[in-house]
Structure 1
Amino acid sequence: MACRLAHSTFLFLGPQKRPTEGNRIFPQSSTSTGTYLLKWDALPQRRSKHHFVSFEKRKIVKAVAVPVAPSSADNVEHRQKLSQDYGFRQIGEPLPDNVTLRDIIDTLPKKVFEIDDVKAWKSVLISVTSYALGIFMISKSPWYLLPLAWAWTGTAITGFFVIGHDCAHKSFSRNKLVEDIVGTLAFMPLIYPYEPWRFKHDRHHAKTNMLEEDTAWLPVNKEEFDSSPALRKAIIFGYGPFRPWMSIAHWLIWHFDLKKFRPNEVNRVKISLAAVSAFMAIGWPLIIYKAGIVGWIKFWLMPWLGYHFWMSTFTMVHHTAPHIPFKSSDEWNSAQAQLNGTVHCDYPSWIEILCHDINVHIPHHISPRIPSYNLRAAHQSLQESWGKYMNEATWNWRLMKTILTVCHVYNKEQNYVAFDELAPEDSQPIQFLKKIMPDYA
């Protein structure tokens, strides 16, 4: 994190003068970790007993900042060590406080914001075709190959979600009615109500990594963790071994309760709830009629659980790491949250294709209006202009192990405290994960 200079001690390489608190300090460069330039004529005049001493000439003096609580995250070698420990390729250096989100957006080429109907409908064709292939594989596979068929089909319907995701961000079509129809239809097989998800997801983008306000993943609140032994155990399981499916709980809690929405949103929410209810009322009985309860489990439930694995995993990888802070609203900075607080993660090519590059996630948080098929071009542009500030990884076991066994209870100084540090007697699930999960990056 950016080092705090208030109440720091300064060692000057030149005349020994002490600036008063409040004088502006200008970083010598964006990569400098401790050297600053001060405008000497900005220092106050000093009165002696007999006369004023003033400085007639402007000159630049070099200063070395020695903060009271040095932030080792500003150190290149330390970030490299953290990258290795956490399973990252790169942990980005802190973004300067004076950089705004608009500054970053303005560096992107205009073409990455352009909607291309051919590419948009090509993504629909990819998802429909891959899903149909998955259903065929399930119908023909012997029992021992079913997990592979389910993995493929669950990944394919994750592509449906990404298409609806583009529609919700108004980056699928120039026709907004078409977007609402396609988004609703894409979400229906997932039993995901489109409009409720859209309203909550917009808040995630507006409040990314804002403590108490983000509607995606949040660290566990310590008061809640300590509130009851039963709840504590449930939280430990939920944020530990069950975390790759915790989006199911999020889906149930956030999207079906009308009381969670503003009055002007309720009618649209009801339409989406009617759509998914129709799928359950018509689609499920048809599946059961044709293939029985076992067929419903094979053709719908297992791929749906595969989808939620990706939904949970993608979301937590995008914004969860020991070095990525959640901040209160008075400390939160939009540019830092979207660029420094979002993770780019490379997955195997077949996953990237079926999921329409949703894991090229940093440009999506810089501007949700970038269509999924333009995310790679936008990412390349961001690397050229802002690459040193970006968090990047290739999916690996160490990355997942870090998230599942470390990123638990919120702590302002440390970002996270692991469950087994706070309650070792209840944290057997976390200790179990530490033992069985591979640690290679």
Structure 2
Amino acid sequence: MPFQSEAKQAYSEDNLPEFTPMPWSLSDIRAAIPAHLHVRKTWKGLLYLARDLVLAAFAWQIALYIDPTFRSSYITHNLTPHIAEVLRWGAWLVYWWFQGLIFTGIWVIGHECGHGAFSASKRVCDVVGYITHTLLWTPYFSWQISHHRHHSNHASMERDEVYVPKTRSDLGIPNENEVEFDYEDYFGDTPIYTLLMLIRQQLLAFPAYLFFNVSGQKNYPKWTNHFDPKSVLFTRRQRDAVILSNIGIASMVWAVTEATRMWGASEVIKYYGIPWLLVTHWFIMITYLHHTDIELPHYRNGQWNFQRGAAATVDRNFLGWQGRFFLHDVAHFHVIHHFFPMMPFYNGAEATQHLKAFIGDHYRYSDKPAFRALWETYTNCQFVEDEGDILFYRDRKGQARVRPANQFRVQSSGSSLALRNSF
């Protein structure tokens, strides 16, 4: 084809690394993890929560001195007003960075509660989770319900709740073996435009998912959201919990409105609003990178099972020591969390070593810098094929990095290779 480059012509899926789905049962994997690592200690979870709250209060207290200090006559006289203003905004940036991480750690505690991993007591989990998530604008019970469904169906094209890949037909891309076209016509955006779309994802994806099911299961009705008790997301028995979640969010609307009236919008935004916005950024960045990678499989039909879906995640060295300390290891040890969601986060590191030893190459880890990984993942992971039961993302040139092993491949009606259920 004259429109294809030599590099494209040289590309052959036969030369890609092969993937064979994981053969073990969940009970096999559970047996490889020491039982004591599943034990939840309420006192330990409460100590981590207390630590986060103390850190948040400490950062807040320090921030109270930023404006008075850098606007004082002593500082402006000795450093000049211009330098003092630069330092003032620099101090605010430092506050926002660390307070955003601290707030995200508190959100993670709520997430642990939603899974029942914080305490063996459901009441303790629900009280702590409801308070922490409500304070950070997350409808606790509503999101808990859909998030549980995500864990139960992760990497299933038909049933997963979030980060469901778009298919070739979803994007209107023709079969390259049947129609001559250039992928540049579909993915030829400028880097600036791509960056703006990535920023939009990072800041708005979670509210958009809660309100409009963006990035969720495409088979749901158009107006599916987490605030409608009659939504397809919930059963009749869950409606009261959804209403209770809505009451929590409504109370936050009232509280922030009152705070704005008393102290002014700019103060509320500086001390609370921007750190909260960073929570949505970190949360989306963490979960997106956990569940999206060009080498991670997705499944259709009979090839999917719970443990294969759990293994279709990747652990990442997310912000180094800051990610481990402030985010409670959830970014570093997420794969084990998908296998055993009720395992407490503070046992994730040790449990991961046992998991890795048992499943071998089916365990995935990346030490790529987080922001570099975010950019490369966002630009590379574009779509999956409409055919096949084991799928891998394709990039902006329509190329994959991994292919299913030969026993999972059959020749389609065209010249391209499709996949089949070999079981």
Question: TM-score, structure 1 length as denominator?
Answer: 0.69
Match of residue 143 from structure 2: 197
- The reply on whether 1:415 has 2:392 as its aligned counterpart is yes
Q: How does 1:427-438 map to 2 (within 5 A)?
A: none
Are 1:404 and 2:404 an aligned pair?
Answer: no
Per the alignment, do residues 320 and 139 of structure 1 end up closer, same or farther by CA in structure 2, a change over 3 Å counting?
Answer: same
Whole-angstrom CA distance in 2 between matches of 1:256 and 1:237: 30
Conserved 8 A contact 1:239-1:408: no
Match of 2:211 among 249, 252, 256: 252
Could you say what the CA RMSD is over the residues aligned between the two structures, in angstroms?
Answer: 2.8
Taking a change above 3 Å as real, the CA distance of residues 109 and 238 of structure 1, as seen in their structure-2 partners, is farther
Q: CA deviation at 1:137?
A: 3.8
- Residue 420 of structure 1 and its aligned partner are, at CA, apart by 7.2
- Of 146-155 and 405-414, the range deviating more from structure 2: 405-414
> How many residue pairs are counted as aligned between the two chains?
330
SS at match of 2:119: coil
**Once the two structures are superposed, what CA deviation does each residue of 1:327-349 show, in whole Å capped at 9, x if it has no partner?**
2233313222212x111112221
- Check the 8 A contact 2:228/2:242 in 1, yes or no: no
User: Which residue does 1:295 correspond to in 2?
Assistant: 267
Q: Deviations over 1:232-289 (max 9, x none)?
A: 99x97886443323223113234223223211111111011101211221x2033213
Task: Show the counterpart of 1:273.
Answer: 246
Partner of 2:415: none
Question: 1:417 & 1:361 partners in 2: Cα distance?
Answer: 24
| Residue pair 2:41, 2:120 contacting (<8 A) in 1 also | no
Q: Name the residue aligned to 1:171.
A: 117
Displacement of 1:312 in angstroms is 0.7
AA aligned to 1:403 is T
Q: Which amino acid aligns with 1:73?
A: P
Q: Show the 5 A alignment for 1:216-365.
A: 216-226=162-172, 240-245=198-203, 246-253=205-212, 254-258=225-229, 259-260=231-232, 261-281=234-254, 283-339=255-311, 341-347=312-318, 348-359=320-331, 360-365=333-338
Gap change, CA 1:336 and 1:297, over 3 Å in 2: same
In structure 2, how many angstroms separate the alpha carbons of the residues matched to 1:383 and 1:256? 39
Equivalent residue, structure 1, for 2:98: 152
Mapped partners of 1:346, 1:161: distance in 2: 20
Contact 1:126 1:354 in 2 (8 A): no
Aligned equivalents of 1:286, 1:137: Cα separation in 2: 23
- How far has the Cα of 1:70 moved from its partner? 4.8
How far apart in 1 are the matches of 2:194 and 2:27?
39
Q: Distance in 1 between matches of 2:253 and 2:41?
A: 33
Equivalence for 1:4: none
The CA distance in 2 between the partners of 1:70 and 1:264, in whole Å, is: 50
Q: Distance in 2 between matches of 1:387 and 1:137?
A: 46
The residue identity in structure 1 corresponding to 2:273 is L
Distance 1:385 1:192, change over 3 A: same
- Which residue identity does 1:220 align to in structure 2? K
Listed one character per residue, the Cα deviations across residues 349-407 of structure 1 (whole Å, up to 9, x for unaligned) are 12221111111101101111101111111112112222332110124144222211011
Read off the aligned partner of 2:210 and give its amino acid letter.
W
Contact 1:191 1:276 in 2 (8 A): yes
Match of residue 354, structure 2, among 381, 384, 388: 381
The answer for the alignment partner of 1:36 in structure 2 is: none
Q: Deviations over 1:412-438 (max 9, x none)?
A: 57722345769xxxxxxxxxxxxxxxx
Unpaired runs of 5+ in structure 1?
A: 1-67, 75-92, 423-441
Structure showing greater radius of gyration is 1
Offset of residue 117 of structure 1? 2.1
Partners of 1:143 and 1:237 in 2: CA distance? 24
The residue type equivalent to 2:375 in the other structure is: K
SS of equivalent residue, structure 2 residue 343: coil
Partner of 2:5: none
What letter corresponds to residue 387 of structure 1 in structure 2? G
One-letter identity of the residue aligned with 1:271: L
